[in-house]
Amino acid sequence: MRITLLAATALSLVPMTLAAQTASPAPAAPAPAAAIAANPLLADWTGPYGGVPPWDKVTPALFPQAMEVAIAERRAEYRRIADNPAPATFANTFVPMQNAGKRLGRVLAVFGVMTSNMNSPAYQALDREWSPKLSAAGDEITFDPKLFARIQAIYDARTASGLDAQQQRLVTRTYDSYVRQGAKLNAAQKAEMSRINQALATEFSTFSEKLLADEGTAITVTDEAMLAGLPDSVKATAKAAAQERGQPGFAIVNTRSAVDPVLTFGTDRALREKVWRTFVNRGDNGGATDTNATIARIVKLRAERAKLLGFPTHAHWRMQDTMAKTPQAATDLMMRVWPAATARVKQEVADMQAIAAKEGTPITIEPWDYRFYQEKVRKARYDLDQTELKPYFALNNIIDASYYAANRLYGLNFKEITGQVPVFEKNVRVFHVTDKNGKEVGLFYRDDFARTGKRSGAWATTYRSQRNLAPAQNVLSSNNNNFASAAPGQPVLISLDDAETLFHEFGHAIHSMLQDVNYPGLTGTPRDFVEYPSQVNEHWLLTRDVLDKYARHYQTKAPMPQALLDKVIAAQTFNQGFATVEYLSSAIVDMKLHTVADGVVDADAFEKAALAEIGMPKEIVMRHRLPQFNHLFSSDAYSAGYYSYLWSETMDADTWAAFEEAGSPWDKATADRFAKVLLSTGNETDRAEAYRAFRGRDPDVNALLKVRGFPTTN
């Protein structure tokens, strides 16, 4: 299970926002032709493949005008819909709503990439300024009584007006979304709602800026002996990081991709502790980059908003449009898994403690020891050393492997066209995607390498989503990773974990590429469904066909030996206590935090108390402590929703079981049914119903427990 971020820019049911504005509406007017001609961000995307973003022309200075003009144009488009004197119909209200705001959508798609992949002080300043303005601009539309009156009139007549099933679903989902966002509030309540939304947008930007600053720091090591045990590739990356900063020796950057190898292989225990403490205290060091006060304001504002909208807590509000539906349902699943995970941790710690004792190392296992000693246990139990695997995972080969699997399963074809269209960074690669009949699907962009100014982690983004509603659109999709680049002339070798991350993120891309929906408003899926297609896609990495063709030793070109694969498979349930507790503690604390009715919390104190309540093992820290929990505090996206990875993994494990029951991971009937029923349909049908249509029943949590090597239950 990859714990990653997913960014998406598909048109939503309510106006796309990052946050909002309180100024009175400007007169309806088309986007000024002179501004469009002078500002490349405002121009329609031109060129081949249905038009592409003008990445080569993007500068921070272009965005203020682009935002102003695009917001005004969207405002005018919605104004015309609301002021239409004709009785409200699906054709004169919902269809133009589906087409409104396209120019702003393009501007924000580019802006999102620049603030995530190419961040700088200039973009941070823009984010601080424009997040609240964008939020208010969205609220202005959501709170428009004339517009909502038309939506409600169509909603009230939805079953008697001849609408087909998709149209009825779009109407229902749009109406429900507007209500959830406050469309039924009175004027004073709407003003308060907009104030809260704008304040939250500002706080989200502040949190992101502070965390990025902490993640940009590094620990300098001048004595190479302190790096004993680290693979040469890790030391080379640290040396390059130091050179980039103009520092002597080696620099261990304060990001997961740089820290984890040190904690896994470094024999210098003092260095491991220093690196671990620096990493887990991001955002929690006092001073200018401390996020605790920001978090307190965010949680309080969220509670105020939930109360204003009539919900007991922020979690109840957020979960209205999810598969789980309620905080209790999500909590029930998490707590069903938690006891087995903590029990496994006790076994894992005992195994590690035994090895330390056998080696004559008089220590008690601490969090900075866990990854280091788990490798010793893995080696002793399975004769498997992670460094044995890396030579078989050359990045370019694994990229080709992901395309091979997508082609064999779904008929997708990938042809590299790097250099033929603009990119935002020199190392970005671009692929033209077609389906099994040669029909164009769109483009796929890859931004695979870590660099200063790029946020940590891995994520997928859709610059433009598929739609059949005229004007039809193809897909512009991307994956974003933080792999360490290699020395000149050397192949980039990635770990098994990195390879799984690559397949995971590519699963998001496959989901967007296979989409075949009519209305843009039926593209986005519930948060606890989003990670499901990507988690399923991880399974094909270790199939023998993929390994034989692509997991070849970068020097000898020999495929991975079956004996080595057998060790990997035998060890798949190894260390699942750590992996599950690390993730699940974060998800449980997230849900507990967002079910505090008044939202008054001290982040550090709350985290400590919540972990004590559930019996958090002292040898493990949350995967994301609250002061650095980007999923929760850089936007609302995953707030009260981090459980979604586990919810999705339950479906993922059960889906893989369907392929196993069919006798092959390449079973065509199962793959076709999976694509047709679940991957291509967006949100045209209820996702729980769609899953039942695919599997014939609800997902079985025992499949998840079995995959993790935990005892199954009745």
Whether the CB-CB separation of 529 and 677 falls below 8 Å is answered with no
- 699 CB contacts (<8 Å, ≥6 apart)? 650, 651, 653, 654, 655, 691
pLDDT tens across 83-108, in order? 999 999 999 999 999 999 999 999 99
State the pLDDT at residue 1: 59
The DSSP annotation for 458-469 comes to -EEEEEE--B-S
State the pLDDT at residue 372: 97
SS3 301: helix
Neighbours of 495 (CB within 10 A): 20
Catalytic residue among 505, 582, 607, 684: 505
Phi, psi of 677 (to 5 degrees): -85, -35
Q: Would you state the structure tokens that stand for residue 607, as one six-digit string?
A: 């985290």
SS3 552: strand
CA distance linking residue 326 with residue 319, whole number of Å:
6
CA distance linking residue 112 with residue 75, whole number of Å:
21
pTM of the model: 0.90
The DSSP annotation for 646-714 comes to HHHHHHHHHHHHHHHHHT-TT-HHHHHHHIIIIISSTTSS-HHHHHHHHHSSPPPHHHHHHHTTPPP--
Residue at 59: amino acid letter = T
Whether the CB-CB separation of 87 and 75 falls below 8 Å is answered with no
pLDDT tens across 302-320, in order? 999 999 999 999 999 999 9
Residue at 180: amino acid letter = R
CA distance linking residue 533 with residue 645, whole number of Å:
11
Concerning whether 129 is annotated as a catalytic residue, the answer is: no
Extract the residue ranges of the chain whose pLDDT is less than 50: 4-28
**Residue 714: Cβ-neighbour burial (10 angstroms; 0-12, 13-18, 19+):** exposed
From the list 449, 435, 380, the residue with the least C-alpha distance to 406 is: 435
SS3 642: coil
Beta bridge partners of 221: 250
CA distance linking residue 528 with residue 549, whole number of Å:
34
SS3 77: helix
Q: Would you state the structure tokens that stand for residue 447, as one six-digit string?
A: 């931004």
On the question of a cis peptide bond just before residue 87, with omega within 30 degrees of 0, the verdict is no
pLDDT tens across 282-308, in order? 999 999 999 999 999 999 999 999 999
Q: Would you state the structure tokens that stand for residue 438, as one six-digit string?
A: 């040669």
Neighbours of 157 (CB within 10 A): 15
The DSSP annotation for 338-356 comes to HHHHHHHHHHHHHHHHHHH
CA distance linking residue 193 with residue 20, whole number of Å:
10
Task: Please identify which residue in the block is written with the tokens 């694969």.
Answer: 565
CA distance linking residue 492 with residue 499, whole number of Å:
12
Helix or strand holding residue 278 (H, E) = helix 269-280
